[in-house]
Structure 1
Amino acid sequence: MRAVFGLVLIIGVALAGGAVYLARDYISKNRAQLELERQLREQALANVKSVPTVGVIVSTRALRYGEKLTQEDVRIVQWPEDAIPEGSFIDIAVLFPEAANQDRFVLRSMEKDEAVMEVKVTQPGEAAGLTSRIEKGMRAFAISVDVASGVSGFLRPGDKVDVYWTGSLRGLGNNGADGEITRLIQTNIELIAVDQSAGSDVTGTMIARTVTVAATPEQIAALAQAQNTGRLSLALVGVQDETVASAIEVDQRKLLGIKKEAPAPIKVEEKVCTVRTRRGGEIVETTIPCTN
């Protein structure tokens, strides 16, 4: 009995020793693998070049057109130096001058953590009205529209449109032209307001009565003349459309494909010159060459 017990004890000690040896070998291999991975990671981090960053001012919440911009609405985040959007603010003192009455207002909607840029806010002390949307040398001009001429209410501030005039040329010495014509008079005119809304974050359709465009004084003179002598229609230009429309004019004949007949040639009668002479009691007419 003792011999059996001793044999079992010896076998158990042998198995325990083998298990300890295997566990020790497994742990050693894992330690070596972890050490190798640590060295490779440190080497990779040492080879990675640090990216220079610059503090950029971003919004802390969603901002909408017309809101007053305060220091609580912005914060500074580190931005890769070679990826900073053009016109971004990097200095709080520049964005918020210390002088009195230097408030800024939002011109374009911004989402949270979006960079605050010069084109998205007014100048210090400037209100968020139409005057802030008009570039130097441009003027604002209102055009009356309806559902048809206003593209069914899909116009938004910031869109660009082509302007067509429809009217009659009667009495203008138009070489016999009759009926109405439609002519493209202005291209790529920017809308800066639709009715009383100047913000570009309008959602859904809006049937407008007037749209306000930004144009040069010469363009405004043409638009005013066209609006007072005929009907104006707007055609929305696509965002990625960079084509320049050429001169376009359509009258009723061109619309229906009717070709204008050439006038019949005028028949010129041959001039005959005669001279009358009296012979006794008779008067005789004699044909002679015409001298003039």
Structure 2
Amino acid sequence: MRLVFGLVLIVGVGLAGFSVYMAKNYIQGYQSQLAQERAQRAPAIETVEIFVAKRPIEYGQRVMKDDVRLTKFPKESLPEGVFLKEEDLFPEGDDEPRSALRAMLPNEAILASKVTGAGEEAGITSRLDRGERAFAINVDVSSGVSGFLRPGDRVDVYWTGNIGRSGARTERNSVGEVTKLIETGVRLIAINQSANVDMTEAVIARTVTVAAQPHQVAALAQAQSTGRLSLSLVGTKDDTVAEAIEVDQRQLLGIAAMEPEPEPEQRKEVCTIRTRRGAEVIVSEIPCTN
């Protein structure tokens, strides 16, 4: 009896294992056919090989051949400025490598905007466009937006000074101390002695360096030597153009301008001569002579 029970148990376990095996093969076959059908339905995506970072690359670091690798990327989604060939990324090999203008993570595409030219350092000269000059502006906590400025930000520049001493007036006929918008959308390229665009901590700036045209540099130098400069941070997506802005103390306090006093009428000069005839004095008008 025990022998029969053991045989039945063995046969049952065998049949169960065989059923599981057959079910597994059936499911795997179904999944394989389903994957093949989906692959046939999906359109073929054309890819190209581009250079990406192999390991983390810090700001200012020299980008060597060992720091990058090729990877496939959808052709239709290629970002602007990618490097497709080694001779484009390393025109001089490792003898004159490029430098990173911003930190890059592994598998991040190497773009022309993220690296310098071959053999160049990651200084502010690499951030100046053709015809631009670098100019330093002295700031403090209040005039420098309380330490929230970063390289790459855009700012409006305001001048505050006293023009009443010389009797000068502006186009709005302001007198005394006046604040005026003198430059708009000026691009910052360095804070203190750092040009790192990946700064994360707030830094109290003592000087900021801006990129400007030569005539803007002259205007900023004149403004800095004759008054106080304040910076106003422009939003990242703000593309509006600020209008001419000028405020003096009279406009700030809402004081109406005083009407100028009328100039007194100039009387015509009259020259006379007195002649005595006995007890009588006669006054006669004569032409005036110098």
TM-score by length of 1: 0.78
Q: CA deviation at 1:251?
A: 0.2
Structure-2 residue corresponding to 1:241? 238
**Unpaired runs of at least 5, structure 1:** 1-8, 286-292
SS in structure 2 opposite 1:192?
strand
Q: CA deviation at 1:45?
A: 2.1
Q: CA deviation at 1:126?
A: 1.2
Q: CA deviation at 1:119?
A: 0.8
- 5 Å-filtered alignment, 1:151-230, equals 151-169=145-163, 170-174=165-169, 177-230=174-227
Distance 1:103 1:37 in 2: 49
Q: CA deviation at 1:266?
A: 5.1
Distance 1:125 1:36 in 2: 57
Structure-1 residue corresponding to 2:144? 150
Q: What are the superposed Cα offsets for residues 74-133 of structure 1, whole Å, 9 maximum, x if unpaired?
A: 111110010111101111221112467422100122112110000111101112111111
Structure-2 residue corresponding to 1:139? 133
Distance 1:94 1:269 in 2: 82
Preserved CA contact (<8 Å) 2:64 2:94: no
Q: What are the superposed Cα offsets for residues 165-197 of structure 1, whole Å, 9 maximum, x if unpaired?
A: 000113153298542000000000011011110
Residue type matched to 1:56 in 2? I
Residue type matched to 1:214 in 2? A
Structure-1 residue corresponding to 2:260? 263
Q: Percent identity?
A: 49
TM-score by length of 2: 0.78
- 5 Å-filtered alignment, 1:1-292, equals 31=26, 39-98=33-92, 101-169=95-163, 170-174=165-169, 177-265=174-262
**Cα pair distance change 1:215/1:98, threshold 3 Å:** closer
Residue type matched to 1:196 in 2? Q
Residue type matched to 1:238 in 2? G
Q: CA deviation at 1:39?
A: 4.6
SS in structure 2 opposite 1:140?
strand
Distance 1:96 1:180 in 2: 56
> Hey, which bits of structure 1, 4+ residues long, moved more than 4 A?
33-41, 264-271, 280-285
SS in structure 1 opposite 2:156?
strand
**CA radius of gyration, larger in:** 1
Distance 2:166 2:267 in 1: 36
Structure-2 residue corresponding to 1:288? none
**Unpaired runs of at least 5, structure 2:** 284-290
Q: CA deviation at 1:283?
A: 8.7
Q: What are the superposed Cα offsets for residues 25-75 of structure 1, whole Å, 9 maximum, x if unpaired?
A: xx79x95x8766655543332222211110111111222211111111111
More divergent stretch after superposition (36-45 vs 236-245): 36-45
Distance 1:59 1:269 in 2: 85
SS in structure 2 opposite 1:97?
coil
Distance 1:132 1:80 in 2: 30
Distance 2:97 2:138 in 1: 34
Residue type matched to 1:173 in 2? A
